[in-house]
Structure 1
């Protein structure tokens, strides 16, 4: 398997491993209490497309560079998460009456964390499984 494939699937696995339990257990009650009427059932196709495309973005902008290190992926993963999650959250806050600052702050913080960790763990797994050289 190519290094890019390993990097992609490792990053995706780590992201899903953190995000699904977070959304399904940890944050579910919080989001329900904040914007409950707006929440519906998860539509699988858009959700799957988000994860598949988001990881492509992580690789392009964060971890696929030949000189990527765990330190750089941690930093740039955090920044990528900040910009992506803030784009959605601040747009939602600007346009949706029921969106709250508490949701914005919590979700942006989560996006920073989960993207930094996923990018870094994906890189470390890819370095272990398919060393550069």
Structure 2
């Protein structure tokens, strides 16, 4: 099996699964209470494009190197998530009237955590299946 393909698919499945659980169940009430008046129906095409592109970023900058370790992937995955989610959240806070600091802080923390966990788990799966 191609290591990069396995790494991509594993990371994508883990990331989307965790994100759907977080956004759909764990933090749904929080986001509704904070910015619910701004939320609309989910648009599937942009959502799918985000996940497909974001995982490419994780592989390029975090886990795709043949010498990546779980420790480096955990660290750089967290940094990648922090930078990417902070870019969106701080831009939204600067431009959108009803965006709030609690949303910014929770989502940046979530971005760092989910990026670290999904890139690391994806690496471990790829290393296991493509030995």
Residue 5 of structure 2 is aligned to residue 5 of structure 1: yes
Shift of 1:66: 1.4
Shift of 1:17: 1.5
Question: In the alignment, which residue of structure 2 is the partner of 1:37?
Answer: 37
Question: In the alignment, which residue of structure 1 is the partner of 2:105?
Answer: 105
Question: In the alignment, which residue of structure 2 is the partner of 1:52?
Answer: 52
1:2-38 CA-partner distances (Å, limit 9, x unpaired): 1100000000011011110110011111001001110
Distance in structure 2 (CA, Å) of the matches to 1:61 and 1:54:
11
Distance in structure 1 (CA, Å) of the matches to 2:107 and 2:59:
21
1:66-85 CA-partner distances (Å, limit 9, x unpaired): 11000000000000000000
Question: In the alignment, which residue of structure 1 is the partner of 2:120?
Answer: 120
TM-score (norm 1): 0.97
Distance in structure 2 (CA, Å) of the matches to 1:54 and 1:17:
14
1:62-118 CA-partner distances (Å, limit 9, x unpaired): 001111000000000000000000000000000001000000000000000000000
What secondary structure sits across from 1:66 in the alignment? Answer: coil
Taking the TM superposition and a 5 Å limit, the aligned residue runs for 1:5-24 are 5-24=5-24
- In structure 2, stretches of 5+ residues that fail to align are none
Distance in structure 2 (CA, Å) of the matches to 1:65 and 1:91:
31
Distance in structure 1 (CA, Å) of the matches to 2:92 and 2:2:
38
**Aligned Cα RMSD in Å?**
0.5
Distance in structure 2 (CA, Å) of the matches to 1:76 and 1:37:
35
TM-score (norm 2): 0.99
